[in-house]
A and B are shown apart, each in its own frame.
Chain A
Amino acid sequence: AQKVTQAQTEISVVEKEDVTLDCVYETRDTTYYLFWYKQPPSGELVFLIRRNSFDEQNEISGRYSWNFQKSTSSFNFTITASQVVDSAVYFCALITPYSGTYKYIFGTGTRLKVLA
């Protein structure tokens, strides 16, 4: 069975601090995709990144970076020099489309509060 665990329910940081959001996943499939989405207070989920299971290169996009490690089944998300606008709930998600299901499995989310 597939599962996504985001153990951090809520994190508070002061502006300009770096923060890492953890995501641990479980799947028996060798081909899968991992995602991060942001849900700001307005409520609409926004796509941040998609990573396939064969690409373990870390990725950086501005202040955002992602660390994918198959050995530990983790796909962690780091925000460098956090800003108040980063305050949101962040979700990690998993899909295994070649297993016959297109079901996205979302974690329970991590609420990030960035204080000015």
Chain B
Amino acid sequence: GAGVSQTPSNKVTEKGKYVELRCDPISGHTALYWYRQSLGQGPEFLIYFQGTGAADDSGLPNDRFFAVRPEGSVSTLKIQRTERGDSAVYLCASSFWSGKQFFGPGTRLTVL
């Protein structure tokens, strides 16, 4: 597709479960970002990939959160032992470098 896609669009899970959120960036974009957005707030940075490596993971809130981008394209955000406080919209964005970002539609995660 022409834009950034994210799957699933909605995910409902139970507390303690494991979830994976997927991001397909725009083809050729080397930079990929994950954000978390809570209601009424701006996007909160989680992690930045340049190619396959995580160039900055300082925004990951704790070790339950992990992200990979094994081939420098698709990325997966993984959350272990989910908590109710993890409920939010998770956004992915890609760009050629740390410049103009193209955002996906987000995955709305609800932890019951």
Q: Which residues of A contact B (CB under 8 A)?
A: 4, 33, 35, 37, 42-47, 50, 91, 93, 95, 97, 101-109
Contact = CB atoms under 8 A, between A and B. Distances in A.
Given A43-B89, A45-B91, A97-B98, A103 B59 contact: yes
A47 B59 contact: no
A37 B91 CA distance: 14
A103 B48 contact: yes
Contacts of B50: 102
A45 B98 contact: no
A91 B44 CA distance: 12
A9 to B, nearest CB: 8
A61 to B, nearest CB: 14
B106 A104 contact: no
Contacts of A43: 89, 105-106
Interface of B: 31, 33, 35, 40-45, 48, 50, 55-56, 58-59, 89, 91, 93, 98-106
B99 A33 contact: yes
B91 A106 contact: no
Nearest to B93: A45
A35 B55 CA distance: 21
Contact of A108 (B42, B55, B58): B42
Contacts of A46: 103
Contacts of A93: 42
B65 to A, nearest CB: 15
Nearest to A6: B42
Given A106-B43, A108-B41, A108-B42, A50 B99 contact: yes
Contact of B106 (A4, A44, A47, A97): A44
A2 B43 CA distance: 15
Nearest to A104: B45
A18 B39 CA distance: 27
A106 B35 CA distance: 10
Contacts of B35: 104
B98 A106 contact: no
Contacts of B102: 47
B58 A107 contact: no
